[in-house]
């Protein structure tokens, strides 16, 4: 889920940047220091949307820099448990598929791809359903549900577990095939009446 959040932070502007426009310098420093970071409560900071307020600069003895209290709006991506997401398969391994969802990757374990038994084809780097012959490969677009989120500190690492073994989930092409089958079934039923 994406969130827009108002934050307040203190920004240190070094003397070498005093002649540049203050708002541009503050935006640059905030972007370099915060964008791409992860906070357990807020999630991944994707971007700083705008700066609302820059307070009066303060100088600390022994440091030639100016310190400003800054209020700004930032865009965050926070994966939520049971959230349905769409993403792209970026890697196939013998134990599953890694899916890019926003700024982070999740893993769909081989047991969570379909109800069909899945074989790994190392030569072609694909996963193939034994009965259905459905193929999952890099670049495929999928819809999945987040079933596990694990965050560990030092160094911070986020692991996301995904499933595609529920109705309406899976490779987008498979979902469309299922919709067409259901539509045909429904039409057949109505024609019999």
pLDDT at 14: 95
Structure-derived torsion over alpha carbons of residues 75, 79, 80, 84, reported in degrees to the nearest 10:
110
Give the burial class of 164: count Cβ atoms within 10 A of its Cβ; 0-12 exposed, 13-18 middle, 19 or more buried. Answer: buried
Q: Write out pLDDT tens, residues 66-99.
A: 999 999 999 999 999 999 999 999 999 999 999 9
Q: Where are the alpha helices (DSSP H) in the chain?
A: 22-34, 172-192
- Please check whether the two domains, 2-77 and 84-180, share a CATH topology: no
- Domain residue spans in the chain? 2-77, 84-180
Q: Classify domain 84-180 by CATH number.
A: 2.40.50.140
Q: Write out pLDDT tens, residues 19-65.
A: 999 999 999 999 999 998 888 889 899 999 999 999 999 998 889 89
Q: Cis bond leading into 155, ω under 30°?
A: yes
Q: Write out pLDDT tens, residues 3-18.
A: 999 999 999 999 999 9
Instruction: Say if residue 155's pLDDT is above 60.
Output: no
Q: Is the pTM of this model over 0.75?
A: yes
Q: Classify domain 2-77 by CATH number.
A: 3.30.1490.120
């Amino acid at each position: 889920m994406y969130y827009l959040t108002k934050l307040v932070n203190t920004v240190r502007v070094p003397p070498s940047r005093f002649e540049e426009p203050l708002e541009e310098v503050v935006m640059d420093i905030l972007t370099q220091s915060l964008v791409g970071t992860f906070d357990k409560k807020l999630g991944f900071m994707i971007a700083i949307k705008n700066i609302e307020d820059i307070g009066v600069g303060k100088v600390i003895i022994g440091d030639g820099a100016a310190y400003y209290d800054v209020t700004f709006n930032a865009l965050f991506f926070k994966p939520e448990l049971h959230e349905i997401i769409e993403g792209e398969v970026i890697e196939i391994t013998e134990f599953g598929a890694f899916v890019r969802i926003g700024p982070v990757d999740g893993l769909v374990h081989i047991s969570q791809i379909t109800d069909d038994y899945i074989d790994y084809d190392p030569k072609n780097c694909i996963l193939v359903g034994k009965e259905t012959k459905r193929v999952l490969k890099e670049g495929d677009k999928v819809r999945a549900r987040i079933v596990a989120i694990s965050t560990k500190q030092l160094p911070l690492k986020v692991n996301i577990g995904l499933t595609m073994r529920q109705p309406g989930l899976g490779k987008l092409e498979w979902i469309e095939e299922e919709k067409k089958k259901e539509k045909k079934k429904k039409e057949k039923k109505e024609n019999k009446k």
